[in-house]
Amino acid sequence: MGLLRLATLGAIGYGLWRAVSGNPGKLQHAGFAPGETDGENFAKVRHAGPEGMRSDPKTWSKRDQALDESFPASDPPATY
């Protein structure tokens, strides 16, 4: 009986958390900024640069930008 109560309280807590979190039921992809995969982005490819990422990198150099813009091309950029 105690396990059933614990499961019920957990389910209620989870439901309340989802309702309060502001994004109930709509999942975001882990590597994308909010709204990056919505609408016409059927290929699920994010824009280059840190603004297309969900979390900001600590540092971002010109080399990082060039590599991010070249992906998934087979040739690395000249700054590599």
- pTM given for the model: 0.43
Tell me, what's the pLDDT at 77? 62
What angle is formed at CA 67 by the lines to CA 63 and CA 73, rounded to 5 degrees?
A: 155
Q: What percent of the chain has pLDDT over 90?
A: 14
Beta strands in 1-80 (DSSP E): none
Tokens at 62, concatenated: 């010109």
- Of 10 and 58, more confident: 10
Tell me, what's the pLDDT at 41? 56
38 has a pLDDT exceeding 90: no
- Of 7 and 67, more confident: 7
Tell me, what's the pLDDT at 28? 62
